[in-house]
Amino acid sequence: MKKIIFILFITICSATYAQVKVYKGNSKSFSDIVYTINDQKVYIGNSTSYFDIIYTITEDKIYTGNTTTIQDCRYTIEDGKVYRGNSNFYTELLYTFDNTMVYKGNSTSVFDCLLTIQGGMVYLGNSTNINDVIAVIEGPVNVGVLACILGPY
């Protein structure tokens, strides 16, 4: 059921919003665009050029570049968890997430909170202080995908 919801979410995001912009810090300036997400591709900066594709997103995987081959699988997203590579083993678990928080590993403790997402803002840790904003998101994006492109891994 969760996979179906994730697939539906990605499909709706692709159909409803042509592009999702991710800005650096507390900015919405054109010069601060870090990523553009368009048609299940993540581009560097404000580009949608084939040469600037850094990730390709499928139902439950994120691949490096413009490919969907197993050897290029960077992350697997499954049941509110992000795993390294083409894996869903506990030892490869990087993040646990819900609708608004991303946690380190298998934790849901506030002490292990890496990112808080609220109102289109991404905050560092368990904070909603304006001084802790690391990114602004313009458009809907899956929290797991956001953890992968902004997180430390």
Q: Are 57 and 42 in contact (CB under 8 A)?
A: yes
Length of the chain: 153
Report whether pLDDT(7) > 70: no
Structure confidence by residue, pLDDT tens digits, 8-27: 445 444 444 469 999 999 99
The pLDDT, as a whole number, for residue 138 is 95
Structure confidence by residue, pLDDT tens digits, 90-127: 999 999 999 899 999 999 999 999 999 999 999 999 99
Report whether pLDDT(137) > 90: yes
This prediction's pTM = 0.84
Distance CA 58, CA 14 (A): 12
Alpha-carbon Rg for the chain in angstroms: 15
Structural domain count of the chain: 1
The pLDDT, as a whole number, for residue 64 is 97
Q: Are 51 and 134 in contact (CB under 8 A)?
A: no
The pLDDT, as a whole number, for residue 18 is 65
Which among 57, 108, 116 has a CA at the least distance from the CA of 81?
108
CATH value at residue 6: 2.40.160
Q: Which domain holds residue 106?
A: 2-150
The pLDDT, as a whole number, for residue 153 is 84
